[in-house]
Structure 1
Amino acid sequence: MEKPEAPTMTLGETLEWLRKELAEMQIQDQQLLLSLRHLQSLLEELRAESTHWEDKRPSRSTSPFRARLGSEGRGCQPVLRELAQLLQGEDSRRSSLP
């Protein structure tokens, strides 16, 4: 039983393919860096908001969870929604072996 031969690439073609892959990986690295920076800023914003709520807690008799359920606690929902969308983003890395 004979296996079909894979097309052979010349050294120049292989190097060109590698250059193209590395260029694509650099672009993806930049996109990941931007996403990570954005996530970091969202986390900092959430931390600041959390600190704000901890400082405004009326007393220990009121549950912090209940205190955050008020209308003011809904302010972080857009940030959480944006964070969820970023985390659910599709994986853009592809495998493209020659």
Structure 2
Amino acid sequence: MLNAVEQGRVVSYGKALTFLHRKEAFAPEAQQLLAVLRRQQSVQESLEQNLQKLRGYATAARSPVAGGMALSGEGLDELVHLYEPTGQVGGYALKWVCPP
């Protein structure tokens, strides 16, 4: 989807749904999420390129979920910060846990 947004492609999702993937077509919150995901995709691509150079083949971890993306610590922080006002991320309630 990120590539479709960057390229402004029209994508069909079945018989009754076609979507023009442009940044402007998304709500402001969704645009922020797209930015977080794009940064994470860039980090992952960079890691894979460096691993290819070091080892001669890609050994970077792949996300176990179809369409999913592994997040770096910084990426997870960005995602939590983005959804902090809602109190949930991915169906999980956010809780502040302070050490004693």
Smaller-chain TM-score range?
A: 0.3 to 0.5
Higher strand content, 1 or 2: 2
**TM superposition score normalised by structure 2:** 0.38
Bigger helix share = 1
Q: RCO (CA 8 Å, sep 6+): is it higher in 1 or 2?
A: 1
